[in-house]
Structure formats: C-alpha cells, structure tokens
C-alpha cells in the first residue's frame, strides 16, 4: 500500500470506530436501570421488554409499543395472541389491556424510584413494531 492509502485507511478506521462508540455506547446509569427492570419477574416475563433508551437530564426516555398512531388491538394481538381478533369489549381483551398498562406502569415506577430520575418520557419502539409487521 502506498502512503496515501494507508492514511486513508487509518482515517476511515478511526471514523468507523468513532461511529461504533457513539451508536453502541450505553451509559452506566441506563445499564443499571435496565438491569433493575430485568430483575423484576413480571417485567422480565412480559412479552414486550420495556427498557430505558437514554437519559435526558433527569428524564428517562423509555421504549413502549403503545401509541395513538397504532391501534391498541394490533399491539395486544401481538403481545397476547389469544385476544387477536376479539372485540375490544371482550373480557379477555380488557384483561390483556390492563396487564399491558400494569406492567408498563410498574416499569415506569421502577425507573422513577431512582434518585437521579424525576420523570419518564415514553418513546414509540418503531423497530419492535416493524419486526412484528406494523408500519407507522
């Protein structure tokens, strides 16, 4: 390799490494909060894994499959296949919806109980939805 190619390869390597660090880095606080979430049986066993994505000041940004952009029946049909196609008024559907709300609230409470977090902001998990055939 000539000198110019070596310099180009070095710059490209440093740039690639920098991008990897920026995109793959997870702060120790985020890791700690996600470990706390995964240590709670009802959150760990739930079909959707709520997680802290990042911390903005004292606000934890958490993932959620729920949104006004996506009908809850579609999300619940993925999380609880037994309610897929049922009426939203059915008792099974209502139980599934309550279970989702309960686990999501437990995840929020777990995170907000940390002394460095004042509130939680939910961010739609578009990747999870796309993996399950729901496009936004």
- Residue 136 lies inside a defined structural domain of this protein: no
Q: Which pLDDT does position 99 carry in this prediction?
A: 96
**Alpha-carbon distance 15 to 17, whole Å?**
5
pLDDT at 68: 85
Sign of the dihedral defined by the CA atoms of residues 8, 9, 14, 19, in that order: positive
Q: Is 8 contained in some domain?
A: no
pLDDT average per 10 residues of sequence, the chain (136 residues): 80 75 68 94 95 94 90 92 90 95 96 94 94 86
Let me know if residue 14 belongs to a domain.
no
Report pLDDT for 9: 77
| pTM of the complete model beyond 0.85 | no
* Residues spanned by the domain of 102: 27-131
Pairing, β 119-124 against β 59-64: parallel
Confidence (pLDDT) at 24 = 59
Residue 4 included in any domain = no
pLDDT of amino acid 108: 97
Q: Is 124 part of a structural domain of the chain?
A: yes
Question: What's the CATH number where 90 sits?
Answer: 3.30.300
Tally of structural domains, the chain: 1
pLDDT value at residue 1: 76
- Residue 34 CB coordination number (10 Å): 18
């Amino acid at each position: 390799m000539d000198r110019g190619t070596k310099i180009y390869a070095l710059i490209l390597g440093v740039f690639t490494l920098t991008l990897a660090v920026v995109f793959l880095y997870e702060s120790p606080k985020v890791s700690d909060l996600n470990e706390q979430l995964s240590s709670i049986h009802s959150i760990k066993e739930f079909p959707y894994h709520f997680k802290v994505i990042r911390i903005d000041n004292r606000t934890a940004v958490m993932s959620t499959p729920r949104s006004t952009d996506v009908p809850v029946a579609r999300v619940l049909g993925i999380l609880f296949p037994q309610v897929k196609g049922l009426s939203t008024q059915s008792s099974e559907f209502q139980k599934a919806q309550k279970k989702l709300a309960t686990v999501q609230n437990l995840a929020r409470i777990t995170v907000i109980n940390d002394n460095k977090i004042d509130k939680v902001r939910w961010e739609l998990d578009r990747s999870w939805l796309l993996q399950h055939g729901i496009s936004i």
